[in-house]
Amino acid sequence: MPRHRRRTLTALLTVGALVTATVASSPATADPPTRTADTFVEREGTTLTLQGEPFRFAGTNLYWLGLDENVGGVDHPTYFRIDDALKTARVMNATVVRSHTLGTSLGCVPCIQPEPGEFNEDAFAPIDYAIARARAYGLRLIVPLTDQWDYYHGGHPTMAKWLGLQDPEDFYAAPRAKAAYKEYSQQVLNHRNPYTGLRYKDDPTIMSWELGNELNGMTRDWVDEMGAYLGKMAPRQLISAGRQQGVDTSALVSPEVDIVDVHYYPSSAVTMAADAARVTGRGKVYIAGEHGSDSLTAADALTLADDPNVTGVLSWSLFGHADDHGYVQHDDGFTLHYPGDTAAMRTDVLANAALARMIGGEWRLPALPVTPPLITSVTKRSGINEIAWRGTAGAHTYRVQRSVRGANGPWTTLTTTPVGDIDTPWLDATTPRTQASYRVSAVDRAGRTLATSVPLGAGPSQDVEVDTLQSWARMSAHSDSLRREPDGDGVRIAPRPRATAHAAWKVVRAEAFTARLATRAGTALPTVQVTRDGTTWKQVKPVRSTTGGTTTLRIEPPRGTEGVRLVWAAAPRPAPLSGITLVREAASVATAPPGAFRQNPGDGATGVPVGDPLTWTASENAAHYAVVLSANADLSDPVIDVTGLRTTSYRPPVNLRPNTTYHLQVTAVNGAGFRSADSAPASFTTGALTVDDFEEYPDGAALSAAYVRNPGGGPVALSLDSQHADGGGHALRAAHDPGSPGYAGIIRTLPTAQDWGGARNLRLWARPDGNDGRSLTVQFVAAGIYWEKEVPLTGTDSTTIDIPLADFTNPPWATKGPLDLTYITQLSFYFNGQAGTTWIDSITATD
């Protein structure tokens, strides 16, 4: 990499430079102006090209695009989720996505091949859509055709079981298994996509067919045979193969394989570089088809982007927005959400986006259409409005506004601090006792408004919910003849022509039910029916209105109604349903202020640990709680001033200052009023801040992993010692030999930055072993600047050492600067003089 590119790392790691995908307010065309969508990615030796230019990439895995396990079972993902995830990948600068279930789908009812010899055309619906959307957004796909593992989407163990093979690994040798694999692959590759008109094998969007995911037992004969079979069927698409760990030898030497895929957990730029050199040394293209997203650093990104042997790097794995609110959650430890749920995930997102930008360069890609936020509910929580919304790809935060005069405004902005997808549902702490309408705007990293939702309002005693129809989840029943089709940012549901159908919703305390249908000349609207017992249905006449191509049918169900349904009669052109809105009497109201409760720490408490959460007992019928904490008795200039808390504890984002008196007031709020905790505001005084007491380490190995030896000094052996400790428990035991460097050091990067701002001394318990001429240097990093102080170690008696923080100075080699004790990130100990043993315990920041 040229030196000038290295100098731009800081710029690349700024949020403005990382998120570069163009977001447009109008839909992207199916093909970008340069028609790259019609051009196949090609292999030239150890590299890939697109339109004659080198094609390198970083991206992600969206394994669930064709079949999903994150929907309370196994089913097809919704069209919204597919579209949102692909857009999010583009926002993170991806140009390639790998997806197992676009090709691997065996052994379940919604699978491509539910049973031996049986193929399910309906299973291709989400796959068709995902491939078409990827094409529209300029993304390329890598599609595995089977799997080493017997996951929910099936794999070669599924075929082995069907065929009665005793050992799943016989899959690679048994003629029947080879025939079954070929039959399945033929069904997939020859499927014609109704959105593009192309068979999968003829679509340049699919860059590569992967023989399978992490196939550990591949033989050279099997790789040659299957690679040749797929290559003949799809001669313009590439063939890739790989195993779970390390470079697969069969894939490496087979002339039928273009790309060797290697996986890494954790991510390791050093190992990737070594594997890439081996693969390209044998004339093949190298990609890291999976790497743990949580272990890629900015330095790794530079290293990989700088290595011409590395063609592609794909993180594991990205999830987008959920259909109702928030994100789709997954529990494998490697989940990425954009822009990130936590500080650690935000760092991971930036590093992976930086790698994609650096390695992929500047391809001309189609603009991304924006899907506005969609408010899915406004519901009461003890009389306080709780607003949930479906998020927008590319949104960094959201702005919530309220109007008390209807959907046309004027609007008041309610969000004074950033609100993200992890904050939904969001409480309107100042809910008025009137009709209130809400709208939500998506805001990108640069602070620009991407799009604003359609308003949704609720009365002072109403709940409102929206069924977007993306899944059948909100319906109580529906006909099998109903079909769902994507329609812009939404979907349409209708029966097949000349088929009868119904869709029903369970309703409780219903006040209004509104159905929106797409209509044009000749379309037949459904009738509306209600039921009081769930069995007997009675037709009712709705209020009908038509604007443009949308017709609404609205009813006010009679009291006691338990269900509403739409019934389509057989018609050549049934009107498709596009959305449902249900207004009901609020389930959670407040007729009196919240009940009495207590807060903790109590008035007069002393020695309160600075890292402990603030807690309180539950207040009856509280919607949320507000917490004010200040060093002043009148609660002015608060250290903490938060509202909208829905639990009975709150952990401050930083440690409180040690040896400091604070004043705390917790207030419970609901729609009828508020109540402060008994005896609030109460005062309490913190104790010393425990920097480390060595009680959290299960063994010496964990201690050594936390306190890493400085390799420039002499050797240090660490262990936990319960015989020599401050009181009970454990102490750190360091056997050290400064040797020729003259020191031996251990360094601990604190897992969470600490605030020592209220402390005057750093106190620690130490015990030397009696050797003369020894000293201990204590060093810490405060706000990025190094500070240290040397203290003598003599005798054999344990002692408590108080080191005034004002006595610490910058080392001669370090950057000079002011001492900022509010952000301590590292603590180190250096043992000077003769070899020996030192015990350390009970490190605190105190007065």
pLDDT at 727: 84
- For the chain, list the domains and their CATH numbers: 3-360 (3.20.20.80), 370-460 (2.60.40.10), 477-585 (2.60.120.260), 599-687 (2.60.40.10), 690-846 (2.60.120.260)
Residue 78: pLDDT above 90?
yes
Decide: helix, strand or coil at residue 459.
coil
CB 261 within 8 A of CB 240: yes
Share of the chain above pLDDT 70, in %: 96
Q: Could you read off the pLDDT of 394-415 as tens digits, one per residue?
A: 999 999 999 999 999 999 999 9
Average model confidence (pLDDT) for the chain? 93
Q: Which two tokens stand for residue 160?
A: 């082995």
Q: Which two tokens stand for residue 663?
A: 């004043």
Residue found by looking up tokens 């008696």 in the block: 797
As a whole number of angstroms, the distance between CA 714 and CA 740 comes to 7
pLDDT at 18: 52
Please give the sequence-ordered ranges of beta strands (E in DSSP) within 53-195, or none if there are none.
53-54, 57-61, 96-98, 140-144
| Bridge partners, 839 (sequence order) | 733, 767
Task: Give the number of other Cβ atoms within 10 Å of residue 411's Cβ.
Answer: 19
Half-sphere exposure of 750 (CA within 13 A, CB side): 20
Q: Could you read off the pLDDT of 516-555 as tens digits, one per residue?
A: 999 988 899 999 999 999 999 999 999 999 999 999 999 9
Residue 165: pLDDT above 60?
yes
pLDDT at 752: 85
Residues making up the chain, counted from first to last: 847
Whole-structure pTM value: 0.85
- Residue 653 has phi, psi (to 5 degrees) of -65, -20
pLDDT at 35: 61
Q: Could you read off the pLDDT of 607-656 as tens digits, one per residue?
A: 998 878 999 999 999 999 999 999 999 999 999 999 999 999 999 877 78
| Bridge partners, 842 (sequence order) | none
As a whole number of angstroms, the distance between CA 482 and CA 640 comes to 53
Residue 726: pLDDT above 70?
yes
Residue 22: pLDDT above 70?
no
Peptide bond before residue 619 is cis, with ω within 30 degrees of 0: no
pLDDT band at 9, cuts 50/70/90? very low
pLDDT at 364: 86
Burial class (CB in 10 A: 0-12, 13-18, 19+), 418: exposed
Distance of CA 46 to the CA centre of its chain: 33
Least confident of 6-20, 346-360, 472-486, 578-592: 6-20
pLDDT, greater one: 598 or 29: 598
Determine how β-strand 785-793 pairs with β-strand 799-804: unpaired
As a whole number of angstroms, the distance between CA 460 and CA 68 comes to 39
pLDDT at 161: 96
Determine how β-strand 285-292 pairs with β-strand 259-264: parallel
CB 239 within 8 A of CB 142: no
Residue 102: pLDDT above 90?
yes
Decide: helix, strand or coil at residue 251.
helix
pLDDT at 662: 96
CA distances from 842 to 618, 692, 767, 803 (A): 35, 6, 12, 14
Task: Give me the mean pLDDT over the 49-63 stretch.
Answer: 97
CB 670 within 8 A of CB 383: yes
Dihedral sign computed on CA atoms, order 627, 632, 636, 640:
negative
Residue 510: pLDDT above 70?
yes
Dihedral angle over CA of 204, 206, 207, 212, nearest 10: -150
Residue 569: pLDDT above 80?
yes
As a whole number of angstroms, the distance between CA 6 and CA 263 comes to 27
Least confident of 127-136, 465-474, 751-760, 815-824: 751-760
Residue 3: pLDDT above 60?
no
Q: Could you read off the pLDDT of 252-269 as tens digits, one per residue?
A: 999 999 999 999 999 999
The b-or-e profile of 320-346 (16+ CB within 10 A means b, else e) is: bbbbbbbbbebeeebbbbbbbbeeebe
pLDDT at 17: 47
